[in-house]
Amino acid sequence: MGENILFYLPAVPLGTALLAFGIRSRRMVEVVHLAGISSVALLSLLLVQDVLRGQTLLALDGMLYADGLTALLVLIIGVVGFLDGFYSIGYLRHDLAQGEVDARGVCAYYGFYHLLLLTMVLAAISNNIAIMWAAVEATTLGSAFLVGFYKHKTAAEAAWKYVLICSVGLAFALYGTILTYSNAFAVVQDAHRAMLWTELVGIARGLDPQVMKLAFVFILIGYGAKVGLVPMHTWLPDTYSEAPSPVSALLSGVLMKCVLFGILRYYAIALQAVGKEFPQTLLLIFGLLSVGVAAFFILVQNDIKRKLAYSSVEHVGIIATGLGAGGPLGILAALFHVINHSLTKSLLFCTVGNVARKYGTRDAQKIRGMLKVAPFTGFMFMAGLLAVVGAPPFSIFVSEFMTLAAGLQAGYFWPMILFLVLLVVVFVAFIILISDTVLGFPPEDLPRGDAGWLCLLPLGVLFVLMAGLGIYVPAPLNQLLQGAVSVVLGGK
C-alpha cells in the first residue's frame, strides 16, 4: 500500500466523523463507528508492517512522513483507539437507556470521537512542524466537546479550563516552532525545507545552539502543558474526572502520547544541536517534579478518577525521567513505558466506568467489596491498579525498572533514589485503594452482576496485552521500539 496509507489514515476518521454527524439512528451510527475504528486499527497495522520492512514513507512533498517513531505512535492510536471506541458502544447504550443522553447526542459523540482520531493521526504523521503544532492544537478543540459531553456545570467548567490552559500552553510551543523555523531558514534558505522535521534533524548540528536552547524550553513548556507535566498540569485532574470514562481512557492512553511524541521530535533535534546535557537535565527536573507532586496528590484523593488522573501526571513524569536519563536504555525505557501506560490506563479508566455505574459514585470511601459485587470488573480493577504501580509481572514493572537502571547507568544516583521513594508512595496509595474498594463486604442492598459483554470484552483484551508484554515482547514490537530509539538518537 506504501505511501497511500498516509492519505488513508486521516481520510478514514474524517469520513467516519462526517457520516456520524449526519446520522440520527443509534444503530446505524454504531455500525459506522465500528467500521471506522476497525479501519484505522487495520491501517495502523499495515503502516507498522511497511516500516518494519525498512520503508520510510513520504507523501505530499515530504509534509507527511512515517518512520519508526511514527509507526509506534500510530500503532497506539489504532489499537487503543479501537478498544476505547469499542468500549464506548456499551457505555453509551447504558447512557441512552438511562436517559442521560439522546440518540442525537450519541451520534455527536461518535462524530467528535473520530475527529479526535483524525487530529491525533495528523499529529503523528506530520513532518511539517507547523502542521504538527496545528494538529496538536486541533486535538484540544476536538476533545473539548467530549470532555463536556454531559453538559453538567462541572463538566462544562472542566472543558473550558482544559481549552484555556492548553491553548495558552500551546502558544509557547508555537514560539518554539517559530524559533526553530527561523533558525533553520537561516541555514537552508528554503521556506519549505526549513519546516520539515527530516531536514531539521539533518542540519541540527549547524543550527544556532542558543536559539535552539530557547526553542526547546518553549516547546517543553508548551507541549508539557498539554501532557500535564508539573507545574502546567492543573487542568488535567478536572478534565479526566469529568469526561466520560472511555474519553478519559482515550485522553490518557492516546492523546497524551501524541503530544509526548511532539516533544520527542524536538528532543531529537536538541540532542544534536545543543548536546545531551541541556535537554536531559530539563526533562529530568520536570519528570521528577511531576512524579513527586502527583504521588502525594494520589495519596489524598477520594475520587477514583482523580486518583487515576494524578497517576497519569506521575507516569508522564516517569517517561520524562527516562528521557532525562538518556542514552539508548533511557529512551527505550521511555518508549516502552509509553506503550505500557497506554494499555494500563485505558484499562483502568474503562473499568472505573463500570464501577461508577454499579455503585453510583466514584468516591472510594463508599465503594466496597467490588470482587463480590462485580467479579470480572473487580478483578480487572485490581489487576490494573497493581500494574499501574509497577508490580511484577506486569509490563510497567519492566519499563520502570529500565528507567531506574538507565538513571543509575547515567550517574544519577540520588535522583534515582528519590524516584524510587516516590514510586513507593504511589504503591502504598494504590494498595490502600485496592484494600478499601476491591476487598471487604459490599453494601447489602447492591444488586450483584457485571456490566454487559460490550463493556467487558475490551477490558479482557487490554488485560491480556498489559500482562503479556510484562512477560514477553514480540520480536516485531521489539524491532519497532529499537527503530524508534534510533530515530530519537540519530534522526533516522
* CA-derived radius of gyration, the chain: 21
Question: What pLDDT score does 492 carry?
Answer: 56
Q: Is residue 231 reached through a cis peptide bond, with omega within 30 degrees of 0 on the bond before it?
A: yes
Which three cell numbers mark 462? 487490554
Question: What pLDDT score does 235 carry?
Answer: 86
Q: Amino acid identity, residue 254?
A: V
* Angle (deg, nearest 10), helices 327-359 and 375-388: 150
Q: Check if the beta carbon of residue 289 is closer than 8 Å to that of residue 230.
A: yes
Show the low-confidence residues of the chain (pLDDT under 50): none
What does pTM read for this prediction? 0.95
**Euclidean distance between CA atoms 329 and 406, whole angstroms:** 6
Residues 124-133, buried b or exposed e (16+ Cβ, 10 A)?
bbbbbbebbb
Question: What pLDDT score does 491 carry?
Answer: 55
Q: Which of 59, 52, 41, 54 is nearest to 4 (CA)?
A: 59
Q: Is residue 10 reached through a cis peptide bond, with omega within 30 degrees of 0 on the bond before it?
A: no
**Euclidean distance between CA atoms 130 and 138, whole angstroms:** 12
DSSP run (H or E) holding 58: strand 57-59
Residues 6+ apart with CB under 8 A from 46: 1, 5
Which three cell numbers mark 157? 467548567
Beta partners for 64?
A: 59, 126
369 exposed, middle or buried (CB, 10 Å; 0-12, 13-18, 19+)?
Answer: middle
Phi then psi for residue 196, to 5 deg, are -90, 130
End-to-end CA distance of the chain: 22
Three-state DSSP at 64 gives strand
**Euclidean distance between CA atoms 262 and 32, whole angstroms:** 30
